[in-house]
A and B are shown apart, each in its own frame.
Chain A
Amino acid sequence: MPIDAVVNIVISGLFTGLVYGLMALGLSVIYGVVRIVNFAHGELMAVGMYAAVFAFVMAGIDPLWMLVPLAVAFFGIGYGLQRALVNPFIGRPEHSQFILLLAVALVLVNLLLVFFGPDARGVLVSYSLDSYQIGPLLIDKVRLICAAVALITCAILFAIFRYLSFGKAIRACADNLLGAQVVGLNVKHLYALTFGLGTACVGIAGCLMSLLVDVTPGLGPAYTLLAFVIVIIGGLGSMVGALAGGVLIGVSESVAGLLFTPSAKGMVSFALMILVLVFRPQGLFKAR
């Protein structure tokens, strides 16, 4: 196979992996602070995808213009979900938390089925099929834009946790919950903010994904599983790990499709996860 074709495939996998990483970042952030595993993560992303598709179909709004409104809306959804539903389950046995969020996931999937039906829906903007040519390389325009937005979003999230006071407060809760309570931090509010931030990441990821793939109600569980694989590989609770895991999965799936039969590329992510669990069960990066 020509080398430029290989490079094209690797770049394509890298860009897709960055969007996966953004999706998984939300999961990692929530677990890192609240210590709740959001089993409705992929379903929330599917909701984000449908929201973007709906805005496009009804009003012709490009999903890139929906990034900020969806981020705000999903922040609110995440905040409300945590305060109203999840908060009472903190401290309860893990299986109760699992059942709760699984139930939320099932409700979301079936609501999407009721409102939108089972048909695949997508967004075809004027530049959906464009690509840039740089020498022998062909760069998919939409993937490039999505990867750039994913990186910017991650950078904003990092900046929030590093430089803003409430970001530092959230980190304090994650590092030392008792200490945070002792110094008077409103832990419930901070937990809800964290859930909101994680859900906002998912909303943005969903908006970007709507430009890359067609959405069906059944897509949510597949992305929940993918998010889990990524954070387990990257390290549960590690933001850098989530991004790195996403990129690793994106690139490895593309390369595996090249080296083996493309129909088997889906198994590569699970094979990688098994390797990580066996040799480095805490993940590639430590939780921070």
Chain B
Amino acid sequence: MPSVTRRDFNRLAAGSAIAGSAALAAPAVVRAQASKLRVGVLLPRSGALAFIGQSCQRGADIAPAMLREMYGVEIELMNADMESSVDVARSRAEKLIDDGAQLLVGAFDSGPTAAIAQVAEQRKVPFVVNIAAAPQITEQGYKYTFRNFPSAGDLIGNGLSLTSDIFQATSAAPRTAVFMHVNDTFGSSMAKGIAAILPKLTHLPFKLVDTISYDREARDLSVEIAKAKATQADFILLVSRLNDAILLVRELVKQRWSPQAIISPGSPGMYEAQFYKALGNRYSDYCISNVPWYNPNAALAQSVEATFHKQFPQEKLMFHALNVGFTFEAIMIAADAFKRAGTTDGDPLAEAIRQTNITEHMMVGGPITFDAKGQNTQIASACIQNRDGEPVVVLPQDAAQKAPVYPVPAWNERKA
């Protein structure tokens, strides 16, 4: 029979005491971790999408303080610039997770967002998409990615429906349109969506006479506009970013082509602050964007506006509404799920996000919920027309601030 020496017994007792005290201490350590959620925010704060990325960042910056009051949870932001690049987005996502991020939010641009979703899935870290429309982001069967933004199909469906409403409201019946789109992941998704959806909408009075794609980083769009002008289309259906939207309008003026309207079925650019600043009221006015928008009458929207104005007194929320609104809501979703889950562990946190049902939010649409694919399908669009240098809701009628104008005044008929 093996004998136990006093030394053996003392060693065993000491080990048990240490293990016991660690077990007693562990719940306290877990409770301390569960009071703070580290959120990695990935946005394109430099590169081709710099202005929009910085606009989104404002929504992130105001979130922690507001969410502390709303939910009583501590959110620590870990910001990263993904430089409008897919490869940088992937590596920055990895680094954020290595540095302790427990949840990711981002990334505005569809290509990098898809790359981050892959990383999130591999690392089992929840990822809440603020803005990105490419359908494949929520079609891969990912369990950790959730999108609080319409997919391209929904954007286009809503956008074309509002386009039809514009024509009805103004008794217009344009017969032809030229479709111009940026050829990045988002633009290509929208182009595919329009090619699939538009032929089915037989009630729309127009047909597409040409499709012209262009490089997002192009510095000169004179050839593209010349081709579009040659079609003699009634209006331009445009899927763009910001810098290219500015270039396009400038080129339209130089080439003296005044289409009946420029209508976006759901892309950024024409409602951004930089668009108005670069073109002035004369050339930025009357552009139409059918996009998800904020509800200025919602209590949360008014709180966000007050906080935004306090933190950024030189800016107006209306010029950043979409970017700030969705980015704030993405972090709000994280905070809400964190409060319910009570943990920062990936699996329970992701499950809590899946069960999200937020009725008090700031963007137009139904409650924030996610379907089996992690997609919120209840986000509506509004028809925004630039008027006197500001984005104004013109449809739906019950939310309209002004009546829509179509066809719009020609460039040379507008006041300088």
- A residues within 8 Å of B by Cβ? 1-2, 5, 8-9, 12, 16, 113, 117-120, 122, 124, 128-131, 133, 138, 140, 212-214, 216, 218-219, 222, 253-254, 257-258, 261-263, 265-266
Are B46 and A131 neighbours in the complex by a CB distance under 8 Å? no
Question: Taking A213-B219, A214-B246, A257-B223 as contacts, is the C-beta distance between A262 and B214 under 8 angstroms?
Answer: yes
Task: Give every chain A residue within 8 A of B51 (Cβ-Cβ).
Answer: 119-120
Are B255 and A254 neighbours in the complex by a CB distance under 8 Å? no
Beyond the given pairs A212-B219, A262-B221, 17 more chain A to chain B contacts, judged by CB atoms under 8 angstroms and listed by A's residue number, are A1-B230, A5-B230, A9-B223, A118-B54, A119-B274, A124-B278, A129-B254, A131-B256, A133-B256, A214-B278, A253-B223, A257-B224, A262-B212, A262-B215, A262-B223, A263-B218, A266-B218
Task: Give every chain B residue within 8 A of A262 (Cβ-Cβ).
Answer: 212-215, 218, 221, 223-224, 227
Q: Does B226 contact A (CB under 8 A)?
A: yes
From DSSP, what is the main secondary structure of chain A's interface residues?
A: mixed
Fill in one digit per residue for B213-252: 1 if any A CB lies within 8 Å of its CB, else 0. 1110111111110110110000000000001001100100
Are A9 and B255 neighbours in the complex by a CB distance under 8 Å? no
**Alpha-carbon distance A118/B218, docked complex (angstroms):** 16
**Alpha-carbon distance A253/B220, docked complex (angstroms):** 10
Distance in Å: Cβ of A213 to nearest Cβ of chain B:
4
Distance in Å: Cβ of B269 to nearest Cβ of chain A:
12
Question: Taking A138-B255, A140-B222 as contacts, is the C-beta distance between A266 and B215 under 8 angstroms?
Answer: yes
Are B214 and A113 neighbours in the complex by a CB distance under 8 Å? no
Fill in one digit per residue for B28-56: 1 if any A CB lies within 8 Å of its CB, else 0. 00000000000000000111001100100
The 7 closest A-B pairs by CB, nearest first: A257-B223, A118-B50, A118-B46, A213-B219, A129-B253, A263-B183, A263-B213
Task: Give every chain B residue within 8 A of A9 (Cβ-Cβ).
Answer: 222-223, 226
Are A16 and B230 neighbours in the complex by a CB distance under 8 Å? no
**Alpha-carbon distance A193/B50, docked complex (angstroms):** 39
Distance in Å: Cβ of A222 to nearest Cβ of chain B:
8
A-B contact pairs, 29 of them (CB 8 A): A1-B227, A1-B230, A5-B226, A8-B226, A9-B226, A12-B222, A117-B50, A118-B45, A118-B54, A119-B274, A120-B243, A120-B274, A129-B250, A129-B253, A138-B255, A140-B254, A212-B219, A214-B246, A216-B50, A218-B47, A253-B223, A257-B224, A258-B223, A258-B226, A262-B218, A262-B221, A263-B213, A263-B214, A266-B218
Task: Give every chain A residue within 8 A of B47 (Cβ-Cβ).
Answer: 118, 218
**Alpha-carbon distance A130/B250, docked complex (angstroms):** 10
Task: Give every chain A residue within 8 A of B222 (Cβ-Cβ).
Answer: 9, 12, 140, 254
**Alpha-carbon distance A262/B183, docked complex (angstroms):** 10
Distance in Å: Cβ of B177 to nearest Cβ of chain A:
18
**Alpha-carbon distance A265/B221, docked complex (angstroms):** 11
Fill in one digit per residue for B188-231: 1 if any A CB lies within 8 Å of its CB, else 0. 00000000000000000000000011110111111110110110
